[in-house]
Chain A
Amino acid sequence: MASPGYCLDFEKPLVELERQIEEIKKFAAEKNIDMSEEIRRLQEKADQIKQEIYSNLTTWQRIQIARHPKRPTLLDYVGMIFTDFTELHGDRLFRDDPAMVGGLAYLDGRPVTVIGQQKGRDTKENLQRNFGMPHPEGYRKALRLMEQAAKFGRPIISLVDVVGAYPGIEAEERGQGEAVARGIREMAALGTPIVVVITGEGGSGGALAIGVGDRILMLENAYYSVISPEGCASILWKDASRAPEAAEALRLTGKDLMEFGIVDEVIREPMGGAHKDPKAMAETLKEALIRNLLPLLDQDKEALLTARYDKFRKMGAFIEG
């Protein structure tokens, strides 16, 4: 069910019908009348509408789902997928960035390091977490924890969900560009398996800075793009409201990225999106993480790094004349 008070525009017919069904059920119970036939009929119709809406999602609708305020965050997944999660803080240079979370945990009994951006689950938390947009110290913390993982031979699970690395004065003063580049560069060289999942928003350099790995997965409604659709639309047409068009042009869904050879697997979400059934989503994601990680554990370090290099080395499209 859509959470009360928040539903996406395209979901309105469904939400309206579901509200009617609830009312009829309530009415039937109160008056003690059998309306099961009526309810069954409406429920069938609701299911049909649901199918229609969710099996034909446009790119823009997927982006709205990826940005849904109720979409599970890193810490939600951590609680459902891993055990004994212990958060580790700080970049040892400047401060602890609450927009980036990292720590130790067991995945199916195996010690791993988990990192990812952390969006807030309400306004207050979003202010504290800077809407999940890390400063350079966030990226440097993530890198510190990943280097630690490599030292102790632990695999790294990176869950990416970020609209972009924070664009601000202090972020520039402390070298946001350098922090992003350093993250990319060092991840490429870490001698331990890395599984990356784009769980929501894959916002450009701010995503890639923790997005280099041996397996790159994406949730069904996640997107991964060089620029936000709004930014793209305002450059192309000087009109940010044409973001839905720009979103189509950018080819940023999991399906597109599979075609471009960027992503290895797209993970199915519960109908309507991860937030409709976080538990089921977490179960599917856990299975995918384990299945993708296991074959990497058998590889020796050199083979792993060579394969990682080759994976990214062939990305791109050009004509050799």
Chain B
Amino acid sequence: MLKDLFKTKPKYITVRPPQELGTRQEPAEKRDIPDGLWVKCDRCNQIVYHKELSKNLNVCPKCDYHFRIGAKERIDSLLDEGSFHEINSGLTSTNPLNFPEYESKTKKSQKATGLTEGVITGTGTIEGQPLVCAVIDFGFMGGSMGSVVGEKITRAIEYATEKGLPFVCISSGGGGARMHEGILSLMQMAKTCMALNRLAAAGGLYISVLTDPTMGGIYASFASQGDIILAEPGALIGFAGPRVIQQTIRQTLPPGFQTSEFVLEHGMIDQIVHRKNLRATLGFFLKFHAREDKGGQAIG
């Protein structure tokens, strides 16, 4: 058993610390959870057995560092088994600006994530409570928002409004609005926010969950607008990227700047929730706001 461990060369991944990310550009497009047997935690530098990490929802068992996870894994870990039903999966990007290298970038992201675009939207239940959800995948061009991401989130919000269902959005986007679609990406900020107004007017609940990283145009639109805003520990959250700020003010940024803990302290979010408690916490809030006329109805 012990011998077997040394037969193959251990494979490591490096996960960059959140401080380096979160500027407008999309960081390296690789999956943050490796296929190798072993994973080196970037925060505590300890070597963790991959299976153990998976079992622990991709949170380092040694130091609680929350690794980034993809949208599919997120849905699997949060929603009741078999309850998820995807909507609007057929939407894909064009290259409206004829922007250099855009098609090759989206293709690369599609290959890396197995997704058609940067967000998965659909319906399902959490602890029996029905909801409409949107989960952004950081692995798809840094979780940035172009026309498709904006449209799918808007449609999800409109669907929740129409059906009287709560809307839960799990955000992760270091890139904010996607520059490859220029002004059209910027306008997705307005589009999604306007849909939220209608959901609010209809008395619909919106829970926004911020995961590492949620920056720029994602944070400065729907992600910061939840009735309830939760964040995973240690996520990078903010408007301007740390590098941009550093270049502007020419000072070193204080430790812990723009983390979940920082935004909680400054009154921007309601709670920090450990990944292992996220499902139960969402279940609680959904149940607490359950509407008698809509609760438990079949969705499809």
Q: Mark A residues whose CB is within 8 Å of B.
A: 165-169, 171-178, 180-182, 184-185, 188-189, 204-205, 208-209, 212, 224-227, 231-232, 235-236, 249-252, 256-257, 260, 262, 308-309, 312-313, 315-321
Contacts and interface: CB of A to CB of B under 8 A. Distances in A.
Contacts of B225: 181-182, 185
Given A178-B268, A257-B183, A315-B184, A188 B193 contact: yes
Contacts of B93: 318-319
B91 A169 contact: no
Interface in B204-236: 216-217, 219-225
Most B CB within 10 A of own CB, among A189, A227, A260: A227
A260 B91 CA distance: 19
Interface residues of B, number: 62
B266 to A, nearest CB: 5
A316 B147 contact: yes
B254 interface: yes
B224 A178 contact: yes
A319 B91 contact: yes
Nearest to A189: B197
20 contacts: A165-B240, A167-B244, A168-B248, A169-B253, A169-B254, A176-B238, A181-B189, A181-B224, A204-B177, A212-B190, A225-B183, A226-B183, A251-B183, A252-B183, A309-B194, A312-B187, A312-B194, A316-B150, A317-B94, A320-B90
Contacts, number: 182
A172 B196 contact: no
A165 B239 contact: yes
Given A174-B266, A231-B24, A313-B194, A167 B182 contact: no
B96 A317 contact: yes
Most B CB within 10 A of own CB, among A226, A235, A257, A317: A226
A205 B147 contact: no
A50 B222 CA distance: 47
B190 A208 contact: yes
Nearest to B185: A226
Given A181-B223, A226-B185, A226-B217, 16 more contacts: A165-B239, A177-B219, A181-B221, A188-B190, A224-B186, A227-B177, A249-B97, A262-B187, A308-B194, A312-B187, A312-B194, A313-B154, A313-B194, A315-B187, A315-B191, A316-B188
A224 B190 CA distance: 15
B49 interface: no
Contacts of B151: 316, 318
